């Protein structure tokens, strides 16, 4: 089996139902991925090791999903040269706004691309587009995916 190109890391097992949508898109695009559960707060050593070894292991992009305080994407970005896509997960009293604000407000020098709350599909598509910068066949798959979206919309009845 080929080495994974995308790493998906979640802070908690409860994030897996949302992240499943990212996995489905990656599979549709034939992008290999790995899925890891590691918390920036509860397993900081594991998290830092994951991030700092990601490039050496052949990953191209990391999707980091977290709810609540959502430090996971920022910690990952601090320890890897790879692009990191933050996926805020809806949880708790603030319904994901806390996670969104935490992920999107990264300090200068530690960028994290951020998608919508529970926006797992877009996280996977963005990962594919990043890979597509240097992979023409991936660009073509993304183009075809977008054409299918447009066709489905055009086929919807209008009133």
Whose CA is closest to 132, among 30, 53, 9? 30
- Is the confidence at residue 92, as pLDDT, over 90? no
Pairwise CA distance, residues 117 & 11, whole Å: 15
pLDDT value at position 144? 97
Instruction: Provide the pLDDT confidence category of residue 158 given band limits of 50, 70 and 90.
Output: confident
pLDDT value at position 101? 95
> Are 100 and 117 spatial neighbours (Cβ–Cβ below 8 Å)?
yes
Whose CA is closest to 10, among 44, 48, 39, 46? 39
Cα within 13 Å of Cα(114), Cβ side: 24
pLDDT value at position 131? 98
pLDDT value at position 2? 85
- Is the confidence at residue 64, as pLDDT, over 90? yes
pLDDT value at position 68? 87
Q: Is 151 helix (H, G, I), strand (E, B) or coil?
A: helix
Over the stretch 114-156, which tens digit does the pLDDT of each residue have? 999 999 999 999 999 999 999 999 999 999 999 999 998 877 7
Whose CA is closest to 128, among 15, 25, 34? 25
Cα separation of the two ends of the chain? 49
pLDDT value at position 156? 74
Over the stretch 7-62, which tens digit does the pLDDT of each residue have? 999 999 999 999 999 999 999 999 999 999 999 999 999 999 999 999 999 999 99
Name the one residue in this structure whose structure tokens are 């926006």.
119
pLDDT value at position 93? 83
Tokens describing residue 148? 């299918």
What the chain holds in terms of domains, given with CATH numbers, is: 6-154 (3.40.50.1970)
Q: Is 115 helix (H, G, I), strand (E, B) or coil?
A: coil
């Amino acid at each position: 089996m080929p080495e994974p190109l995308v790493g998906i890391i979640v802070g908690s097992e409860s994030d897996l139902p949302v992240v499943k949508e990212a996995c489905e898109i990656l599979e549709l695009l034939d992008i290999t991925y790995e899925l890891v559960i590691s918390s920036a707060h509860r397993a900081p050593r594991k998290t830092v090791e994951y991030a700092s070894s990601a490039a050496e292991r052949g990953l191209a992009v990391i999707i980091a999903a977290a709810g609540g305080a959502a430090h996971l994407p920022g910690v990952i970005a601090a320890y890897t040269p790879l692009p990191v896509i933050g996926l805020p997960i809806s949880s708790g009293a603030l319904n994901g706004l806390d996670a969104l604000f935490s992920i999107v407000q990264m300090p200068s020098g530690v960028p994290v691309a951020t998608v919508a709350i529970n926006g797992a599909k877009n996280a996977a598509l963005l990962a594919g587009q990043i890979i597509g910068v240097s992979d023409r066949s991936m660009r073509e798959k993304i183009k075809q995916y977008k054409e299918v979206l447009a066709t489905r919309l055009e086929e919807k009845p209008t009133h």
